[in-house]
Amino acid sequence: MRIATWNVNSVRARGERIAAWLQRGDVDVAAVQETKCRDDQFPAELFTDLGYEVAHHGLSQWNGVAVLSRVGIEDVQIGFPGQPGWGETESAEARALGATCGGVRVWSLYVPNGREVDDPHYGYKLRWLEALRAYGAGCLAENPQARIALCGDFNVAPRDEDVWDMAEFEGKTHVTKPERDAFAGLVDAGFAEVVRPYTPGPGVYTYWDYKQLSFPKRKGMRIDFVLASPALASRVSGAVIDREERKGKGASDHAPVMVDLDGGAEDESAAADTTGPTSA
């Protein structure tokens, strides 16, 4: 089974491109972020026509997450328990969607950017990551054999080699110690970073800004990950960052990240007790 994650930076702008990539990449399950649309605006037919089931959570022209699966979708969950909100009324944003696909609990996650270190959004980002860690740790405590994939744009570069020049990031978000500690907390909770062993750096990235010819100049960041629970990590047989999808007219500023699992799609019963509570 092949699981992928991709921040598409507008599903309506890139729907045809995403559909072509799903076929070309032989992707079984795709966790998609930054769809930038409401549920009623999501172009589901582009994917259902290819045999994919669709789950989407979008509230406005910002954020938005989806799971596309050709191996079934069960137990769709919007948000995770403890997920913090944003704004004066602390309402939950469309940043997390979980679904069981072929025996794997797949989460599509769009971690808050943080903006600037002295911005309230930075504190929101750290709270969000801590809540995700607590939820993930709780799931594994309840069922150590749960097969869970935390997929998405984490907006954290965990290592110095994950940005093109650390000097350029001095005093900026994505590389601060609290952010890196929060990411490490997810790993310490039992979720392995399963892509890096197959795509070692330095100079290996998943995101390149549209500005200043960042892509051809190789000024990128590694911020998109698949973090797998122990039972799932043991099944990983390969991974790739599809850098080709960052090329050409109309590309997203992120590249898809794909992980291959041994064993193929399995009974959804294998993912028993992995869903947790069904609302944030």
Q: Which helix (H) or strand (E) holds 127?
A: helix 120-142
pLDDT in tens, 90-113: 899 999 999 999 999 999 999 999
pLDDT in tens, 150-169: 999 999 999 999 999 999 99
Rg of the chain over all Cα atoms, to the nearest angstrom: 17
- CA trace torsion 263, 266, 272, 277 (10° rounding): 100
φ, ψ for residue 195, nearest 5 deg: -90, -40
Percent of the chain clearing pLDDT 90 (strictly above): 91
**What DSSP line would sit under 254-276, residue for residue?**
B--EEEEETT-S--GGGGTT-S-
